[in-house]
Amino acid sequence: MLRSTVSRFASRGTRVVTQRFASTKTLKETLQEVIPGKQEQLKQLKSEHSQTVIGDVKVENIIGGMRGLKSMLWESSVLDPNEGIRFHGLSIPDCQKQLPAAPGGKEIIAESMFWLLLTGNIPTEAETRQLSRELAEKGDLPTYVEKLIDGLSPSMHPMTQLGIGVAALNHDSVFQKAYETGIKKSDYWTYTLEDCLTLIARLPALAARIYRNVYKYGAAAPPISKDLDLVGNYTALMGYGADKDLTEYLRLYISIHGDHEGGNASAHTAHLVGSTLADPYLAYSAALFALAGPLHGLANQEVLRWQLAMQKELGDNITHQDIKDYLWKTLKSGQVVPGYGHGVLRKSDPRFIALQEFCDSRPELLASPTIQLVKKTYEVAPGVLTEHGKTKNPWPNVDATSGCVLYHYGLTEFKYYTVIFGVSRALGALTQLVWARALGLPLERPKSVSMDALQDLINKGA
């Protein structure tokens, strides 16, 4: 049995009728069931445990960028130093087994991961397909954004262009318009959700338009297909729709890279700006500019540069000893080994392991000299870094392999890699914006101190 739902798109003033199975729920309906329980849990924590001490603030936390300080609420994922990332308690292998894939595919897709992050529930295949179609129907860019992006210089960094485009989309923010007319706080999340869905839907068209303008000289893109998932449309819009292996890789990468708790710079920035009640477009554009920093989102391109430089210097038939010598050369020159170490993790990044398993399942990747070098480096680098003694975590993170696989599949434009990261990280950051509004989280406002004030506190404590 089918039932129809009708939605209106303000940007085009048209009515679109979609159909769904009566046995499925929409994402919004699922959230309406989940939110009251979370609100009650938060109410209980506030009333019964507000004075419970869960940790000490040390001087190193204050002057060390708040590293490791438990100080923010983030519902969709938890990052354990030894276990790695879990999404509502599920590991990456758990998600690979349970979350629906695209028709004919095997890898997780962004829609099923977004559903899990937002609701804590595993979507059915029908619910996932329904969400894919909803996003495809919302995916076209407004004409004013197309003109804006087309008018930017191709020499402008793709991440700068992405941030500009996302910020400009706030012209259509339903949350902003509703807030200006006066709405109840209990309804904030519904308008925020609508903005977040529209932003996620439009990110592939925006990111692909930037790619074509910068690297393909404005080549025309195909129309968005209502029968494809988000990433399927993204690769098609970039001009790689025929490459099914690249599409499957990006499905996996974007899904498992979509959230990594809230303390990383881009996620935290989205949360901070969102706490001012800025709309999701403004909050996420700020997050993208944090992601563009060399210490955050640019790491995957740095890994690939380093790997290619090693290949060029060492030539063919690279041995483990060759790699060991090159690692020591890098370290003795005062440089870090890119792709190794992590601000929280103290083991091999489960995302790295998942991407390596993807490579192991495809003969063409196993035969790639670049991918072979990634694998050999993994076999040598932890020992060298442990012997070096200045790295808390000598194990690889996701960046140790992510860019190298893109390079193999022909996406060789390094500067664009962080844009793909930006498309993926929207899943988690925008999830949190919805929950921040649903739970009524306050404006984020930590207390700062000067060095003299800090010394006074130290003296008083002593």
- Structural domains of the chain, with CATH: 135-293+416-438 (1.10.580.10), 299-408 (1.10.230.10)
Mean pLDDT of 24-30: 91
Which residue among the candidates 260, 271, 342, 408 is catalytic per the annotation? 342
Q: What is the pLDDT of residues 220-259, one digit of tens each?
A: 899 999 999 999 999 999 999 999 999 999 999 999 999 9
Least confident of 204-213, 253-262, 291-300: 291-300
Q: In this predicted structure, what is the pLDDT of residue 23? A: 58
Mean pLDDT of 116-123: 97
Q: Would you say how long the chain is, in residues? A: 462
3-state secondary structure of 79: strand
Residues ≥6 apart with Cβ < 8 Å to 160: 292
Which residue among the candidates 296, 322, 325, 388 is catalytic per the annotation? 296
- C-beta of residue 419 within 8 angstroms of C-beta of residue 204: no
Cβ neighbours, 10 Å, residue 40: 10
Phi-psi region of 243 (alpha: psi -120 to 50; beta: other; left: phi over 0): beta
399 catalytic residue (yes or no): yes
171 catalytic residue (yes or no): no
Angle of helix 188-215 relative to helix 280-291, nearest 10 degrees?
50
Quick one: which of 207, 200, 195, 204 has its CA closest to 163? 207
Which residue among the candidates 229, 279, 349, 399 is catalytic per the annotation? 399
360 catalytic residue (yes or no): no
Q: Mean pLDDT score of the chain, rounded to an integer?
A: 91
Both tokens assigned to 194: 């609508």
